[in-house]
Amino acid sequence: MMLTLYDELTLRPRRTVAGVEVLLLNLSAPDEPRSLARPRGETRRMVLDFLRERRVCTTADVAGEFDVTISSAAHALRKLREEGRVRMSGQTTATRWEYVRD
C-alpha cells in the first residue's frame, strides 16, 4: 500500500452548486510519490523485538502495538514461525505467539 503525501493544498474560489455554496480544494501531488511503508523485513524485526520482551502475545497485540492491520501482523508472525523464531499455540481466536529464539 502506498500513501501519497501532497506537496501543496490550495483553496479555489467558492462556487454555488444547486443553491449551496461550496469550497473547492486543489491538491497537487509531489513529482515523486513518497511512501510511508516500512522497509522489507522491518516489521518482522520489530515484532521479534516485541515478542522478545513480552515472551507471549496475540496477533491483535502486535497489530495494536505497531499500528498495522491484523492481516499484516499475522503475516509477520507466520514468517517468523517459518524461520523458527516464534511458536504458535492455540487455535483461531485463542492463538498465542511465543518467542523461541533470534
Ordered by start, the domain boundaries in the chain are 1-36, 42-99
- CATH class of the domain comprising 42-99: mainly alpha
Q: How confident is the model at residue 42 (pLDDT cuts 50, 70, 90)?
A: confident
Cα–Cα dist 24/81, whole Å = 50
Query: Where does the pLDDT of residue 2 fall: very low under 50, low under 70, confident under 90, or very high at 90 and above?
Result: very low
- Segment 14-33 shows an average pLDDT of 60
For residues 4-29, average pLDDT: 57
pTM tops 0.75, yes or no:
no
pLDDT in tens, 52-83: 999 899 999 999 998 888 898 899 999 999 99
- As a whole number of angstroms, the distance between CA 49 and CA 42 comes to 11
